[in-house]
């Protein structure tokens, strides 16, 4: 139940004062004067006493507020409202506890039922009166009346919810008259139908305002927009009340699929209950009915419109192909400096965008209302979005890869646990071809969420090699041979200069580092050529290439140790 504790100065609480007056008079006549109770009184007796005390306090507040004026009167009315809310909380606790006298609780609930009925009657009449005043008032006064109208409707919704709670209490106390339940269901159905009719009327007003805005001169648009704003405000108030009544109808088991459909069409709000089978069927049924009526009324134009529809699609397809070619030529220019992945993305998206716009234009030419279709796409998009979360994650990762460009088509990369050459990339995955000609398709989210190593991104690379020689070899001679080998290779760059240095005095060798710079495409050719030439030249120059070895020294044991006895052998 929604508890509303904010009172508006323009909304008098006459109905609450009258109801409380009649109720507390009865309560005070039935309850004896308060007497001190024993400290050992049971919890049920204590709760019953508190309920009687609240009734007595409310009766006193009714008397005091009758004598008060101005702000004091409003303050007492607020206090009365809060007291009654606290009283309802105590009644709820007593019903749950099942220890308080049932007749006493039934009398309290019936009294609350009387409050709700009186309040509903008063606020219904006041809402109707305010609605008429809004229609007849000038623009300046309408907003003030709308505030009072909104407040009255909020309290009316709250009282319907309290009445529903009262009936639920009577069910728990086995004191519910079937006639009361039946009448309450009728009230819910009647008010829900009234709200739905009001919404349909307000929809027509908004549609008329939109039509007038499209053709009205500038001097009249301000007045039309103001009228539309007021109508939209009334629509918001009415749909809020309709939502409350739909929830109550569901609780009472009253069919509400049609009202949910109307609520969905007006607000576009998607909730769990709106995705039920009955509601979806009602929406589809409504759309189908509208489409059938539209087709019958416009049958003479359908053939021509269908012809125009097909022509526009054919033209859009040709324009899409032309757009792809133009964009392909444009993004390939050196001025843009776009990667191959980004070029393919722009080419693909440009054609699809033109094609999509062409479809929308074609649909509009046959007179099809795109709003329900786009709304349906929105619902389907939400459902598909939940079902394809991983795919959307890959899509987002693909966009990041296109923006930051960590690699391009043809680059050798190590990404997502895979090494190879980038063959192709889409917005959801990347195709990598390994050196042994395997095709591996890696999701973009796995690539973007891991370390990316682009081996061939730079124009030049350094080849890191290590060669060892024996400790007995001449260090200067070895450096000269290595330098000669590297400098004589045609693919080794002169700048930056190669680095050839004695690096480590290892356990069994002197290790030299050899680091020439080469073009990226020549990396492996230089690596393999230099390694082969080092072996050949070292053999010619008498330079040994050591391998790991160990010297084992054997020492003979002393002969003074006596031999073991035969029986111990």
Domains of the chain: 14-34+42-278 (no CATH), 299-387 (1.10.287), 406-454 (2.30.30.60), 460-541 (3.30.70.100)
330 has a pLDDT exceeding 50: yes
pLDDT of residue 109: 87
pLDDT of residue 466: 94
Which residues neighbour 389 within 8 Å (Cβ) at sequence distance 6 or greater?
none
Q: How far apart are CA 514 and CA 486, in angstroms?
A: 8
- % of the chain with per-residue pLDDT over 90: 11
pLDDT of residue 110: 87
The answer to whether the beta carbons of residues 513 and 465 sit under 8 Å apart is: yes
- 284 pLDDT band (50/70/90 cuts)? confident
Q: How far apart are CA 263 and CA 268, in angstroms?
A: 8
Rounded to two decimals, what is the model's pTM?
A: 0.46
pLDDT tens track for 286-303: 667 666 665 666 666 667
Which residues neighbour 255 within 8 Å (Cβ) at sequence distance 6 or greater?
249, 278
Residue of 131 and 7 predicted with greater confidence: 131
- 32 pLDDT band (50/70/90 cuts)? very low
Enter the DSSP assignment of 2.
Answer: -
CB-neighbour burial class of residue 260 (10 A; exposed 0-12, middle 13-18, buried 19+)? buried
The answer to whether the beta carbons of residues 341 and 402 sit under 8 Å apart is: yes
- 518 pLDDT band (50/70/90 cuts)? very high
pLDDT of residue 274: 54
pLDDT tens track for 34-46: 444 444 456 667 8
**φ and ψ of 291, to 5 deg:** -65, -40
pLDDT of residue 151: 87
Q: How many CA atoms lie within 13 A of 87 on its CB side?
A: 28
The answer to whether the beta carbons of residues 497 and 515 sit under 8 Å apart is: no
pLDDT of residue 10: 39
DSSP string, 270-295: --TGGGSHHHHHHHHHHHHHHHHHHH
pLDDT of residue 537: 92
Q: How far apart are CA 202 and CA 267, in angstroms?
A: 13
pLDDT of residue 377: 67
Range name among 112-116, 118-122, 126-130, 560-564 with the lowest pLDDT average: 560-564
pLDDT tens track for 238-264: 888 888 888 888 888 888 778 887 887
398 has a pLDDT exceeding 60: yes
Chain center to CA of 188: 34
Question: Which of 8-12, 408-412, 414-418, 488-492 tops mean pLDDT?
Answer: 488-492
Residue of 389 and 517 predicted with greater confidence: 517
The answer to whether the beta carbons of residues 170 and 176 sit under 8 Å apart is: yes
Query: In 3-state terms, what secondary structure has residue 441?
Result: strand
The answer to whether the beta carbons of residues 15 and 80 sit under 8 Å apart is: no
CB-neighbour burial class of residue 238 (10 A; exposed 0-12, middle 13-18, buried 19+)? buried
Which residues neighbour 485 within 8 Å (Cβ) at sequence distance 6 or greater?
530, 533, 534, 537
Q: How many CA atoms lie within 13 A of 180 on its CB side?
A: 18
Query: In 3-state terms, what secondary structure has residue 36?
Result: coil
Range name among 41-45, 142-146, 272-276 with the lowest pLDDT average: 272-276
The answer to whether the beta carbons of residues 230 and 146 sit under 8 Å apart is: yes
Question: Which of 73-87, 226-240, 329-343, 538-552 tops mean pLDDT?
Answer: 226-240
Residue of 343 and 341 predicted with greater confidence: 343
Query: In 3-state terms, what secondary structure has residue 165?
Result: helix
- 558 pLDDT band (50/70/90 cuts)? low
């Amino acid at each position: 139940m929604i508890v509303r504790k904010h009172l508006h100065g323009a909304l008098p609480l006459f109905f609450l004062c009258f109801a409380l007056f009649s109720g507390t008079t009865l309560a005070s006549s039935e309850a004896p004067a308060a007497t001190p109770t024993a400290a050992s009184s049971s919890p049920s007796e204590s709760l019953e006493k508190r309920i009687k005390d609240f009734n007595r306090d409310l009766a006193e507040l009714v008397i005091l507020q009758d004598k008060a004026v101005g702000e004091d009167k409003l303050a007492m009315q607020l206090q009365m409202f809060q007291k009654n809310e606290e009283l309802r909380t105590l009644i709820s606790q007593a019903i749950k506890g099942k220890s308080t006298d049932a007749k006493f609780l039934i009398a309290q609930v019936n009294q609350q039922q009387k409050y709700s009925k009186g309040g509903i009657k008063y606020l219904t009449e006041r809402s109707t009166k305010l609605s008429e005043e809004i229609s007849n008032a000038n623009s300046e006064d309408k907003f003030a009346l709308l505030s009072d109208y909104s407040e009255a409707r909020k309290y009316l919704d709250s009282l319907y919810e309290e009445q529903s709670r009262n009936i639920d209490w009577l069910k728990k106390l086995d004191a519910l008259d079937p006639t009361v339940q039946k009448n309450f269901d009728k009230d819910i159905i009647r008010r829900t139908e009234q709200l739905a009719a009001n919404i349909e009327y307000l929809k027509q007003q908004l549609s008329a305002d939109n039509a007038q805005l499209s053709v009205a001169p500038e001097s009249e648009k301000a007045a039309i927009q103001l009228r539309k704003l007021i109508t939209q405000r009334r629509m918001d108030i009415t749909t809020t009340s309709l939502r409350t009544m739909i929830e109550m109808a569901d609780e009472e088991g009253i069919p509400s699929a049609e009202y949910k459909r109307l609520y969905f069409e007006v607000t576009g709000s998607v909730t769990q209950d709106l995705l039920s089978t009955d509601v979806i069927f009602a929406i589809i049924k409504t759309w189908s009915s509208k489409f059938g009526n539209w087709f019958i009324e416009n049958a003479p134009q359908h053939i021509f419109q269908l012809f125009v529809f097909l022509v526009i699609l054919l033209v859009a397809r040709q324009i899409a192909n032309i757009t792809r070619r133009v964009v392909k030529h444009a993004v390939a220019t050196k001025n843009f400096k776009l990667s191959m992945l980004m070029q393919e993305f722009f080419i693909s998206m440009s054609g699809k965008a033109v094609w999509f716009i062409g479809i929308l234009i074609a649909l509009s030419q046959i007179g099809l209302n795109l709003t329900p279709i786009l709304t349906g796409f929105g619902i389907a998009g939400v459902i598909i979005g939940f079902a394809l979360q991983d795919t959307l994650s890959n899509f987002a990762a693909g966009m990041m890869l296109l923006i930051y460009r960590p690699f391009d088509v043809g680059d050798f990369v190590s990404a997502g646990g895979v090494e190879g050459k980038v063959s192709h990339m889409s917005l959801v995955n990347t195709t990598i071809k390994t050196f042994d000609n395997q095709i591996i398709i890696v999701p973009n989210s796995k690539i973007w969420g891991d370390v990316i190593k682009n081996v061939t991104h730079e124009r030049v690379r350094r080849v890191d090699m290590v060669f060892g020689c024996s400790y007995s070899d001449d260090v200067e001679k070895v450096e000269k041979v290595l330098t000669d080998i590297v400098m004589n290779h045609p693919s080794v760059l002169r700048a930056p200069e190669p680095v050839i240095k004695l690096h480590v005095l290892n356990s069994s060798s002197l290790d030299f580092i050899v680091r020439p710079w080469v073009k990226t495409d020549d990396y492996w050719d230089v690596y393999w050529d230099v390694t082969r030439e080092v072996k050949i030249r070292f053999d010619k120059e008498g330079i040994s290439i050591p391998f790991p070895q160990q010297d084992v020294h054997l020492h003979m044991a002393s002969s003074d140790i006596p031999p073991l006895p035969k029986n111990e052998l």
